[in-house]
Amino acid sequence: MNKLAIYPGTFDPFTNGHLDIVLRSVRLFDRFIIAITTNAKKTPLFSVPERKELIEKSLPAGNNITVESFDGLLVDYAEKKGCIILIRGLRAVSDFEYELQMALLNRRLKPAIETIFKMPSEEYSFLTSSAVKEIAQLGGCVDGLVPPAVKSALIEKFKINQQSILAKI
Ligand code: ADP
């Protein structure tokens, strides 16, 4: 059987916590898709093509992973791909309620699709994309929290933002 899994998320930006979940999951499947949601509730810092490029740069060489984006319902996208396994990360108890709700709603919409939860290494259990953005914006060090390509992109993004703020003064 050709086993395929989809790991959906906003990935704004991709962190070492996301990477930890990918590396723990990927060896269990023949094919693995990291799927970026385009219908984010909040305005993202990075565009979808930027997020895609940063994820691709952060993955180990010679992998069986593809990075895509999708809009609309996740379960419709999964069905189109012929995929019945969704991967989600569970950091702490605080993630549980939201993730349970999403998993049960998705099951309600498409009963054939299963959600599998993976726990990251505890060093990443506090890590969120929002925290990383806040630290970087305030000039803090994000070493060890994000892959090197993401670190450079954050520095670049906030430099540009600061320049555009200065230009308006
Ligand atoms: P979403 O907006 O779909 O929650 P995120 O990019 O925030 O998108 O997260 C995608 C998935 O990765 C979610 O299941 C989330 O719980 C998981 N995740 C995010 N950060 C971490 C982390 N540090 N460790 C493990 N899982 C994580």
More reliable by pLDDT, 164 or 51: 51
Q: Report the topology of domain 4-125.
A: Rossmann fold (3.40.50)
- Which residues, listed in sequence order, are joined to residue 118 by a DSSP beta bridge? 89
Beta-carbon count within 10 A of 22 CB: 22
Tens of pLDDT, residue by residue over 123-133, are 999 999 999 99
Separation of CA 134 from chain center: 17
Report the pLDDT value the prediction gives residue 166, as an integer from 0 to 100: 64
Active site residue 42: yes
Burial class of residue 99 in the structure, from the number of CB atoms within 10 Å of its CB (0-12 exposed, 13-18 middle, 19+ buried): middle
Q: Which of 21, 90, 100 to mutate to test the pocket of ligand 1 (most atoms within 8 A of CB)?
A: 21
Active site residue 157: no
Report the pLDDT value the prediction gives residue 164, as an integer from 0 to 100: 65
Extents of the domains making up the chain: 4-125
- Which residues, listed in sequence order, are joined to residue 115 by a DSSP beta bridge? 86
Note the pTM of the prediction, 2 decimals. Answer: 0.93
Report the pLDDT value the prediction gives residue 72, as an integer from 0 to 100: 95
| CB-ligand 1 contact for 25 (6 Å cutoff) | no
C-alpha 120/C-alpha 62 separation (Å) is 22
Residue 18: which region, alpha, beta or left (left: phi > 0; alpha: psi -120 to 50)?
Answer: alpha
